[in-house]
Structure 1
């Protein structure tokens, strides 16, 4: 019997503590695990994905340029430019991301003088830095009289040999002498605008040719476009079919409007065709400039990479692959322009963007050649603070994702016009700000460790599927079908459909990142290349459609031992916009051990899981061979598992990944991570982190850990440990501070709002 109120309070505290501990234990994912096998992450296959002579040269030279944009100020002459270049060099930067010589009274030959001056001072006048050197070969060493064997161990010494430096400077000077002879870019290059399926009249003839090449006959086209089932098709020629996608009212970016059809496939085809036009332009540019100078890298790039790529008629990965022959793939990462889809949250999304850039160009030279250098107020309609601490977080995020080059917009700000006074590493008076000091110091450390960083690899536990076909289908859904202008139909939900896959992909990324689980994004092309087995787990976030061959590839992956996890809705449509009936002998039913009888939404009838009401779609499931491992509170299946071959397929019967798209749903993040991992664990774990996230890249002789503390006012001490990797000495790279470490890992106090880079030896 409880005697008084004090005893009651004590008992209540004990019960609350026990309840909290029980909830925490319920979704526990502690422990570490090694992957067995000679090449468990398929690194050879990874490096083979983009393996041109240019990429081989870059892997040999291992450049890691950190560049800035020099913007000519009023009154700046050659001597003023030289002074700035010396400051840039002394701070640790290695390149000029761009040289903007804008004064109208610059004399003839001024540009060449400025570029030559940069080379003589010791920085590259181009973003690519040492990536633009001539390749170092045994023949070149012999020609230069450098008495060293060309080995990886000797390469650092070879690259700083005075004869090599002099030779490569002359390569650059010769390139300056030919700058005015360089061919212009093919028409249509530059950052692609946001388009949509409808096309101006000039594109209809090539679209008609594309349709004929794709389908071969009018009957095949009409079958693909669901003629009869989604309305009659009066067209009799490919030209008439192409005209169905004619648009009007195009803006300067090519974005117009057109009539709607109830059919889905024709819009997918229009998106695919236009994306291939953009890629064709990129490829022409790469081929042109590689033929012009095979030693000078070129770059392709994108922006707005959180958006629905297909709906914009982009294909990010295809654009990346055009850089295989020519050099580098990048995306601009500007805090003020590229984060509106994440409510302008930046810490995690910076890493996610960098991760996407790296994973779209696996095995290739991926970088961010245009990233925020300083604060903004008005040019992007959203103001940001960028100080030294912010800069440390940005750079650590780029490194953690495996990028191997950074370009900052900009060194000094514009003095007039749009962007006036913004983005600069210097302050308004032109003095290097703390963010410039931090970036320069990181650059110095990068040059010391760039050889090992190039040898560092990701060892992902989860592969998150990034599907172009899925985004195309969601983009089509977002267009709607009816012109309903009465107020009751005024809703933005249709337009939101196009982002559901992006939201789910980023929601899962948040859950895994907050729980320190390493992940990569993989694509349909990665499945085609046989890379599925790189990932112990593959997750399908809001994937409503895939091509049949990719569903079969996932079946094979599971059959051979993989763990496939999907959340609802999954594979409800095929790529022609037809309902997947999921019959008992279908690939879906065989893989998941169940069928979806109906799909519902909790909008009008709440459904509860673990005490929480969920706002979600969910399925009425017919269970065949699957095991129900968790239920909703009304006993409907919430999570199922099905053994298939040597692996298993798990269905989370609600929109788990979309529920963690925005920050704050920590409980669902833990639930999602728990059901994603099952019994699988990464090779390291983190203890004591309340505000810090840890990423890892592995090199033969050391592991590199990258830590982000998001808390604005509180440092925290964390421990990174492993039961499956033996460790030695650990050091904070930026400060050279030796850390407390043993065979299991290291301990570090992470300052508030900071990015930390740790190297720990593997004896």
Structure 2
């Protein structure tokens, strides 16, 4: 177990439970009610000070900590620990007035104005200095406060200001490029500047990929995204250095956005944290949003190397920022929260504690809603608090999986640049399709970086990895040769880390391992389909695949009117390679076809489900030293029987070989020391 998180959970006496607390929005007389109701709800951890810079430093260099002193003292007196934020996510109005050059600039050259949050250029020296002074004063003051349990750096790095195109950013971009390439010859080679007469002869000629007449240089764009993520990471490291120097005994974290935003490389930030924390919000328009939730949770666990992690933010009900902000139905919040715990979270926190009455997020739900304690949400919040206390023994256990799904922000950025073969190929669509097939089979996977050690896995999935380095491609190749199983999706392995096409035939880096050669891509027209040999439809993409040792498992229909220009050619191949097996999927099959295919792939790889369950019932197992815990979450409207043996920690009911999970309900079966073969 992550020792840092163990110390935190031991201090809290169980799973962390709470949310963002913003007392500065309320009169002092409300605070006493807040802490009383926190204890009633079972809250043991709140995030404080995220957006309080204007209160902590109302004028330049004038620090006022009286309000925060009182809040911290009040929390401690009522047994609530603090995740204390550094407050740097929202500079106050005086900063923007004094430093207009620090306001971010769009690709079109428009300088943005103060009036929301994260309104600063990540490369601004003035911002770095002002934020650094604030963090230093804050840490010096509260490092020994008894309420302090965790330092919370910034808030959602890069959510609104990841990319700034101002002259300051341009200079910082050039410095970053010098460090990366050494000289202009190296940069010109990497960027392929022989194309369109773009060759650079002086560093001063290089600017960010601002709005221009045609398609910008793809590698310039990719490097700018890399630089922009690194600029924010530099700020994070600066805050982390201050915290570790002045408050060495207190762990630090920051709330990462997993798949909510693609602007920063989550893996790089996770490596700089003592505890991985994430924010996760459902997409209301998605009827299967709970599967996207599980994907984000498995990515959070992957970012932390498999260790338990914290759910820093999610919502009790509706959010405020989607086109249609749909409220959660009765029981949905409970299922959502416990699904995160099932997948490794040792903390369940929300934005926010008390619902705001003014401001941009006043219609965002909270633990204590506008209607107060006589509400559906409050009753569900207090009930969940009791259940989390009943699950205290689960903390510290781990989710173990034989399956890794390779996930990379660099590949995400590259795939969705302009001028690719099809704008319909979207990174998360591909990842989600493969993930959903596994989810429906009850098979848990870790979403991990391609450089991760794969030696302890049985199966590796590569649904969409157009960009891969030689080293990472060699790692997967060795994994298969040494007995592992892998499945690769279309348009993977086609470019190197500089977004240069790998020559000799696609799929480039994986061609030998897969035993195929792709002659040409044939992406489908909008809403187009192609039939497969099993009669099922395929969408988005087709390829002209030539087997070079691989066997054909499924082909495109032989009739050109159904199979298109690749009629009769392979759509799914299987290649025995060394001691292992490598599969290739050259299209986007229907959900049912992909599910059946991955079921076969898993079966051949020796991968088994946490439990045999029908679609709609989520099954995940956490393993501890003395027991395992089978989480069964029923997202359907019918009761579902499941083979299980043990005691349900939520109801106390004993399952002697079988259990029935009621519609919309959750069970957490403590399986004690029962071997898997006897369950």
The TM-score with structure 2 as length reference comes to: 0.79
Q: Specify the SS of the correspondent of 1:404.
A: strand
The structural deviation recorded for 1:268 is 1.5
Please give the alpha-carbon distance, in whole angstroms, between the structure 1 residues aligned to 2:39 and 2:304.
30
- CA-based RMSD: 3.6
Counterparts of 2:537 and 2:431 in 1: how far apart (Å)? 22
Deviations 1:489-545 (A, max 9, x none): xxxx96655xx221111111111101111111011242xxxx212321111112222
Q: Distance in 1 between matches of 2:65 and 2:269?
A: 36
User: SS in structure 2 opposite 1:524?
Assistant: coil
User: Which residue in the other structure is 2:621 paired with?
Assistant: 696
**Alignment partner, residue 113 of structure 1:** 70
Alignment of 1:244-393 (within 5 A): 245=208, 247=210, 257-258=211-212, 260-261=214-215, 263-303=217-257, 305-307=259-261, 309=262, 312=263, 314-324=264-274, 328-335=275-282, 339=283, 343=286, 345-363=288-306, 366-376=309-319, 380-386=322-328, 388-393=330-335
Once residues 695 and 559 of structure 1 are traced to their aligned partners in structure 2, the CA distance between those partners, rounded to angstroms, is 30
Question: Is the 1:373–1:411 contact (alpha carbons within 8 Å) kept by the matching residues of 2?
Answer: no
1:762 to 1:437, Cα distance in 2 relative to 1, 3 A: farther
1:679–1:418 Cα change, 3 Å:
same
Q: Please say if residues 568 and 651 of structure 1, whose CA atoms lie closer than 8 Å, have aligned partners that are also in contact.
A: yes
Give secondary structure in 1 for the equivalent of 2:510: helix
Tell me if structure 1 keeps the 8 A contact 2:369–2:377: no
Distance 1:369 1:480 in 2: 37
C-alpha change, 1:123 and 1:586, in structure 2 (3 Å) is closer
Q: For residues 191 and 211 of structure 1, do their structure 2 counterparts lie closer, same or farther at Cα, with a shift above 3 Å needed?
A: closer
Q: Matched residue of 2:276: which SS?
A: strand
CA, structure 1 residues 753+467, in 2 after alignment: closer, same or farther (shift >3 Å)? Answer: same
For the residue of structure 1 that corresponds to 2:324, the secondary structure is coil
Q: Secondary structure at the match of 1:268?
A: helix
Residue 144 (structure 2) pairs with residue 219 (structure 1): no
Q: For 2:156 and 2:617, how far apart are their aligned partners in 1?
A: 38
Asked if residue 734 in structure 1 is aligned to residue 667 in structure 2, the reply is no
Contact 1:396 1:756 survives alignment (8 Å)? no
> Do the aligned partners of residues 675 and 573 (structure 1) sit closer, same or farther apart at CA in structure 2, a change above 3 Å counting?
farther
1:399 aligns with 2:341: yes
Aligned residues: 598
Q: Kindly tell me: are residues 89 and 101 of structure 1, through their superposed partners in 2, closer, same or farther at Cα, counting changes over 3 Å?
A: farther
Higher RCO structure (Cα 8 Å, ≥6 apart): 1
Higher mean alpha-carbon deviation, 571-580 vs 534-543, is at 571-580
**Which of 643, 666, 675 is equivalent to 2:576?**
643
Partners of 1:58 and 1:365 within 8 A in 2: no
Q: 1:759 to 1:55 in 2, by over 3 A?
A: closer
Between 444-453 and 667-676, the greater mean CA deviation after superposition: 444-453
Q: Distance in 1 between matches of 2:501 and 2:331?
A: 50
CA distance in 2, matches of 1:762, 1:184: 38
Q: Which residue pairs with 1:751 in the alignment?
A: 662
Q: Which of 44, 49, 52 is the equivalent residue of 1:94?
A: 44
Aligned mates of 2:587, 2:26 — CA distance in 1: 62
Give the corresponding residue for 1:233. Answer: 198
Query: Displacement of 1:368 after TM fit?
Result: 1.5
Instruction: Compute the displacement of 1:556 (Å).
Output: 0.9
Cα distance change on mapping 1:372 and 1:211 into 2, 3 Å: same
| Structure 2 CA distance for partners of 1:278 and 1:259, relative to 1, 3 Å | farther
Report the equivalent of 2:601.
676
Match of 1:571 among 485, 493, 498: 493
The CA distance in 2 between the partners of 1:352 and 1:362, in whole Å, is 15
SS class of match (2:496): coil
Q: SS of the counterpart of 1:601?
A: coil
Task: Give the distance between the partners of 1:459 and 1:60, measured in 2 at CA.
Answer: 22
Provide the C-alpha distance between the structure 1 equivalents of 2:648 and 2:209, rounded to a whole number of angstroms: 58
Cα shift readout 1:652-701 (whole Å, capped 9, x = no counterpart)? 22124xx5xxxxx4x23423423432413434454463531211112232
- 1:206 equivalent in alignment to 2:172: yes
CA distance in 2, matches of 1:561, 1:184: 43
2:495/2:508 contact within 8 Å kept: no
Q: Is the 8 A contact 1:630 1:639 kept in 2?
A: yes
- 1:432–1:733 CA distance, 2 compared to 1 (3 A): farther
Q: Does residue 1:652 correspond to 2:562, yes or no? A: no
Deviation, structure 1 residue 445? 4.5
CA distance, structure 1, for counterparts of residue 553 and residue 151 of structure 2: 62
1:226: how far off?
Answer: 1.4
SS at match of 2:656: strand
Distance 1:360 1:83 in 2: 38
Which residue matches 1:65?
16
CA distance in 2, matches of 1:108, 1:282: 23
State the distance in 2 between where 1:183 and 1:735 align: 35
Superposition deviation, residue 84 in structure 1: 3.2
Q: Check the 8 A contact 1:368/1:403 in 2, yes or no.
A: yes
Distance change >3 Å, CA 223–CA 84, structure 1 → 2:
closer
For residues 328 and 506 of structure 2, the distance between their equivalents in structure 1, rounded to whole angstroms, comes to 56
* CA distance in 1 between partners of 2:368 and 2:585 (Å): 49
Within 2, Cα distance between the matches of 1:301 and 1:644?
A: 41
Contact 1:461 1:517 in 2 (8 A): no
Deviation, structure 1 residue 407:
1.5
Query: Quick check: 1:706–1:757 contact (8 Å CA) kept in 2?
Result: yes
Question: Which residue of the other structure, out of 452, 455, 465, is the alignment partner of 2:406?
Answer: 465
* 1:580 is the counterpart of 2:527: no
The 1:622–1:93 alpha-carbon spacing in structure 2 relative to 1, beyond 3 Å, is same
Cα offset, 1:295, TM superposition: 2.5
- The aligned counterpart of 2:671 is 760
> What displacement does 1:450 show?
3.7
Name the CA shift for 1:574/1:649 in 2 (closer, same or farther; >3 Å): same
Paired residue secondary structure (2:501):
coil
Cα gap change, 1:689/1:318 in structure 2, threshold over 3 Å: closer, same or farther? same
Gaps of 5+ in 1: 1-46, 129-170, 248-256, 482-492, 660-664, 721-728, 742-746
Contact 1:301 1:319 in 2 (8 A): no
The 1-side partners of 2:595 and 2:6 are apart by 41
Secondary structure of 1:757 counterpart:
strand
Instruction: Give 1:597-636 correspondences, 5 Å limit.
Output: 597-603=519-525, 606-634=530-558, 635-636=568-569
Deviations for 1:294-327, whole angstroms, at most 9, x for unmatched residues? Answer: 23333212336244x2xx2x11111111113xxx
**Whole-angstrom distance in 2 between the partners of 1:687 and 1:75:** 50
> Secondary structure in 2 aligned to 1:382?
coil
Q: Distance in 2 between matches of 1:585 and 1:693?
A: 34
Q: Which residue of 1 aligns with 2:373?
A: 431
1:415-463 Cα distance to aligned partner (Å, 9 max, x none): 3343336412335342164444444444445445445430x22221321
TM-score (norm: length of structure 1): 0.71
1:137 alignment partner in structure 2: none
**Would the aligned equivalents of 1:99 and 1:125 in 2 still touch at CA under 8 Å?**
no
C-alpha distance in structure 2 between counterparts of 1:184 and 1:537, whole Å: 36
Q: Does 1:416 align with 2:358?
A: yes
Alpha-carbon separation, structure 2, partners of 1:84 and 1:540: 47
SS of aligned partner of 2:180: helix
Cα offset for 1:221?
Answer: 1.7
How big is the shift at 1:590?
2.2
Q: Which residue number in structure 2 is paired with residue 131 of structure 1? A: none
Q: Deviations over 1:600-619 (max 9, x none)?
A: 23447834341123223222
